[in-house]
Amino acid sequence: MRGGLLGALLAAGLCLPATARAADPIKFGVIAETSAIGGASIPKAAQLAADEINAAGGVNGRKIEIVVYDDHNSAADAVRAFQRAHSEDKVSAVIASYISEVVLALEPWAGRLKMPMITPGAASDDITKRVHNDYDHLKYVFHGYLASTQIADSVCEAGKQLLVKDMKAKTAVVMSEDAAWTLPLDNEYLKCLPQIGVKVIDHIRLSPDTTDFTPIFNKIEGEKPDVIVTGISHVGVQPTVQWQQQQVPIPMFGVSSQATSSTFWKDTNGAANGVVFQMASAPDVAVSPKTIPFAKKYTAKYGVTPAYSGYTAYDDVYMFADAIKRAGSTDADKIVAEMEKTDYVGTLGRIVFLGRDSQFTHGMKVAPGYITGLMEQWQDGKQVTVWPSSAGTAKLAFPKFVKLGQ
Amino acid sequence: MSAMLEVSGLIKRFGGLVAVKDIGFSIKGGEILGLIGPNGSGKSTVMKCIMGIEKPNAGSVKLDGVDVAGWPAHRIARAGIGLVFQHARPLHRQTVLEHIILALLPDNLLMLVADLHVRRRAEEIAARVGLAGVMHRLPRTLPFADLRRLELAKAVARNPKVVLVDEPFAGLTAAEVADFSSLIASFRSEGHAVLLVDHNVKGVAALVDRVLAMYLGEYVAEGSAEEVMRNETVRRVYLGGKIETASRPAREGKGRTPLLDVRGLSVLYGKAQALEDVSIHVGEGEFVSVVGLNGAGKTTLFNAISGLVPSTGTVSWRGESLGGRTPAQIARGGIVQCPESRELFGDMTVRENLDLGGQHNPPAEATRLIAWLFELFPILQERQGQAARTLSGGEQQMLAIGRALMMQPKLLILDEPTLGLAPVILELLSKTLERLRQTTDITVLLGEQNVTFALPHADRVYVLEHARVVWEGDPARFAEEAGSGYL
Amino acid sequence: MLGLQILIDGFAISSLYALGAIGFTLMFGVSGVLNLSHGAIMVVAAVVAWLFAGSYGAGPYGGALVGVLAGVVTAFATYLLVVRPIQTSRSIPGEEKEIFVLTGTLLWGIMLQEAVAYLFTNNPKTVRPLLPGVVNLLGVRTPTNEIVTAAISWAAIGLLWLLVNRTRTGKTLLAASINPRGLTLLGFELSRIYILVWAIYGVLAGLAGVLLGAFLGVSSDNAGTLTASAFSIVVLGGLGSVSGSLVAAYVVGYLETLTAYLISPSIRTVPVLLLLVVVVYLRPQGLLGRR
Amino acid sequence: MLKSPKFIATMVILVVMALLPLGVGGYILGLLTLAYYYGVIAMAWDLLFGFAGEVNFGPTFLVGTGAYTAAMLNHYAGWPIPVCLFVGAVAAVVGGAILAVPALRLSGPYFGLVTLVAVLLLQNFIVLFAGTTGGEIGLDIPDVLAIDAAPNYWYAFGFMVVSGGLLYGLANSPVGLILQASGQDAIEASALGFNVTKHKLAAFCVSALFSGLAGGMLIFYLGTVSVGTVVDLTIGVQVIIAAVLGGRRTILGAAIGSIFLIVAGEILRPLGQLSTFVVSAIALVVILFFPGGFLGILQRGEGRS
Tell me, yes or no, whether C190 lies in a domain.
yes
The tally of domains found in chain B comes to: 2
Contact A267 C225 (CB under 8 A): no
Does domain A149-279+373-387 fall into CATH 3.30.565.10?
no
Q: In what order do the strands lie in the sheet with B287-291?
A: B335-338, B411-415, B443-448, B287-291, B460-465, B468-473
DSSP structural state of residue C263 = I
Looking at every residue in chain C, the average pLDDT score rounds to 89
Q: How many CA atoms lie within 13 A of D198 on its CB side?
A: 14
CB of D299 less than 8 A from some CB of B: no
Q: What is the pLDDT of residue D3?
A: 63
Task: Return the partners of chain A (3 or more C-beta pairs < 8 Å).
Answer: C, D
> Residue type at B114?
A
* Residue span of the structural domain in which B274 resides: 258-485
Report which of C103, A275, D191 is spatially closest to residue B165, judged by C-alpha positions: D191
CB contact at 8 A, B278 and B470: no
Most trustworthy range by pLDDT among B12-16, C142-146, D137-141, D255-259: D255-259
Whole-number percent of chain A with pLDDT over 70:
93
Tell me, yes or no, whether B247 lies in a domain.
no
Q: Give the start-end residues of each E strand in A292-355.
A: 343-346, 349-352
Question: Cis omega before residue A388 (within 30°)?
Answer: yes
Contact B345 C168 (CB under 8 A): no
C142: three-class secondary structure by DSSP:
strand
pLDDT band at B484 (very low <50, low <70, confident <90, very high): low
Q: Spell D40-52 as b/e; 16+ CB within 10 A means b.
A: bbbbbbbbbbbbb
Superfamily covering domain A17-146+288-352: Response regulator (3.40.50.2300)
CB contact at 8 A, D281 and C113: no
Question: Cis omega before residue C93 (within 30°)?
Answer: no
Contact B158 D178 (CB under 8 A): no
State how far Cα A387 lies from the chain centre: 19
User: What is this structure's pTM?
Assistant: 0.86
pLDDT band at B145 (very low <50, low <70, confident <90, very high): confident
Q: What are phi and psi of B319, to 5 degrees?
A: 85, -5
C232: three-class secondary structure by DSSP:
helix
Q: What is the pLDDT of residue A3?
A: 38
- How do the domains of chain A map onto residue ranges? 17-146+288-352, 149-279+373-387
State how far Cα B432 lies from the chain centre: 25
Domain co-membership, B295 together with B415? yes
What are the angstrom distances between the C-alpha of B405 and each of B344, B401, B414, D97? 14, 6, 11, 56
Looking at every residue in chain D, the average pLDDT score rounds to 87
pLDDT band at B330 (very low <50, low <70, confident <90, very high): very high
Report which of A10, A28, A143 is spatially closest to residue A85, judged by C-alpha positions: A28
Interface size A-C, in CB pairs within 8 Å, comes to 99
Nearest to C187 among B308, B355, B360 (CB): B360
Q: What is the pLDDT of residue B474?
A: 84
pLDDT band at A11 (very low <50, low <70, confident <90, very high): very low
Q: What is the pLDDT of residue A140?
A: 96
A383: three-class secondary structure by DSSP:
strand
CB contact at 8 A, D243 and D252: no
Tell me, yes or no, whether B248 lies in a domain.
no
Report which of A81, A128, A125 is spatially closest to residue A106, judged by C-alpha positions: A81
> Residue type at A178?
D
pLDDT band at A313 (very low <50, low <70, confident <90, very high): very high
- How do the domains of chain D map onto residue ranges? 34-232
CB of D135 less than 8 A from some CB of A: yes
> Please, which contacts does B469-474 make with residues 24 or more away whose CB atoms are closer than 8 Å?
B469/B278, B469/B279, B469/B280, B472/B280
Pairing of the two strands B17-28 and B3-14? antiparallel
Tell me, yes or no, whether C287 lies in a domain.
no
Q: Give the CATH number of the domain where residue B89 resides.
A: 3.40.50.300
Q: Give the CATH number of the domain where residue C193 resides.
A: 1.10.3470
Domain co-membership, B50 together with B153? yes
Q: What is the pLDDT of residue B445?
A: 93
Is residue C277 predicted with pLDDT exceeding 50?
yes
The C-alpha atoms of residue D125 and residue C283 are separated, in whole angstroms, by 25
Q: What are phi and psi of C143, to 5 degrees?
A: -60, 135
A35: three-class secondary structure by DSSP:
coil
Domain co-membership, B190 together with B281? no
Whole-number percent of chain A with pLDDT over 90:
55
CB of D31 less than 8 A from some CB of A: yes
Tell me, yes or no, whether C88 lies in a domain.
yes
DSSP structural state of residue B466 = T
DSSP structural state of residue A25 = P
Q: What is the pLDDT of residue D2?
A: 55
CB contact at 8 A, B445 and B282: yes
Q: What is the pLDDT of residue C289?
A: 67
pLDDT band at B271 (very low <50, low <70, confident <90, very high): low
Residues of chain C positioned with their CB less than 8 A from the CB of D45: none
The C-alpha atoms of residue A156 and residue C23 are separated, in whole angstroms, by 50
Residues A205-261 have pLDDT tens digits of 888 878 889 889 988 998 999 999 999 988 888 999 999 988 999 999 999 988 888
Nearest residue in C to D122, CA atom = C270
CB of C56 less than 8 A from some CB of A: no
Looking at every residue in chain B, the average pLDDT score rounds to 85
Residues (pLDDT < 70) of chain D are 1-3, 108-109, 136-137, 272, 300-305
CB contact at 8 A, A95 and A56: no
Name B10's bridge partners: B23
The C-alpha atoms of residue A230 and residue A217 are separated, in whole angstroms, by 12
Is residue A183 predicted with pLDDT exceeding 90?
no
Torsion of CA A51, A53, A55, A61, to 10 degrees: -120
Q: What is the pLDDT of residue A307?
A: 86
Q: What is the pLDDT of residue D300?
A: 65
DSSP structural state of residue D84 = H
The C-alpha atoms of residue C12 and residue B202 are separated, in whole angstroms, by 68
pLDDT band at A19 (very low <50, low <70, confident <90, very high): very low
* Residue span of the structural domain in which C187 resides: 2-282
Is residue B247 predicted with pLDDT exceeding 60?
no
CB of C122 less than 8 A from some CB of A: yes
Is residue A179 predicted with pLDDT exceeding 50?
yes
Is residue A35 predicted with pLDDT exceeding 50?
yes
Q: What are phi and psi of A67, to 5 degrees?
A: -110, 120
Q: What is the pLDDT of residue B483?
A: 61
Q: What is the pLDDT of residue A9?
A: 41
Average pLDDT over residues B370-398: 88
In sequence order, which residues have a C-beta less than 8 Å from that of residue B209 and are 6 or more positions away? B31, B32, B33, B188, B224
Q: How many CA atoms lie within 13 A of B447 on its CB side?
A: 28
Residues of chain B positioned with their CB less than 8 A from the CB of C190: 328
Name A350's bridge partners: A345
Q: What is the pLDDT of residue B26?
A: 92
Q: What is the pLDDT of residue D9?
A: 86
More confident residue, A54 or B470: A54
Q: What is the pLDDT of residue C91?
A: 81
Q: How many residues does chain C have?
A: 291
The C-alpha atoms of residue B168 and residue B35 are separated, in whole angstroms, by 12
Pairing of the two strands B31-36 and B193-198? parallel
The tally of domains found in chain C comes to: 1
Q: What is the pLDDT of residue A16?
A: 41
The C-alpha atoms of residue D119 and residue B420 are separated, in whole angstroms, by 49
Which ipTM value was assigned to this complex? 0.83
Whole-number percent of chain B with pLDDT over 70:
93
The C-alpha atoms of residue A178 and residue C163 are separated, in whole angstroms, by 46
The C-alpha atoms of residue D6 and residue B485 are separated, in whole angstroms, by 56
Report the range of poorest mean pLDDT among A227-241, B134-148, B315-329.
B134-148
CB contact at 8 A, B418 and B363: no
Is residue A12 predicted with pLDDT exceeding 80?
no
Q: How far apart are the first and last CA of chain B?
A: 32
What are the angstrom distances between the C-alpha of A70 and each of A75, A76, A151, A374? 11, 12, 27, 30
Kindly tell me the number of DSSP H helices and DSSP E strands found in chain C: 12, 2
Choose from C123, C212, C269 for mutation: most chain A CBs within 10 A: C123
Report which of A365, A368, A311, A320 is spatially closest to residue A62, judged by C-alpha positions: A320
Is residue C113 predicted with pLDDT exceeding 90?
yes
**Helix, strand and coil percent figures for chain B, each rounded to 5:** 40, 25, 35
Residues B333-361 have pLDDT tens digits of 999 999 988 899 988 899 999 999 888 88
Last residue of a domain, one of B190, B206, B239: B239
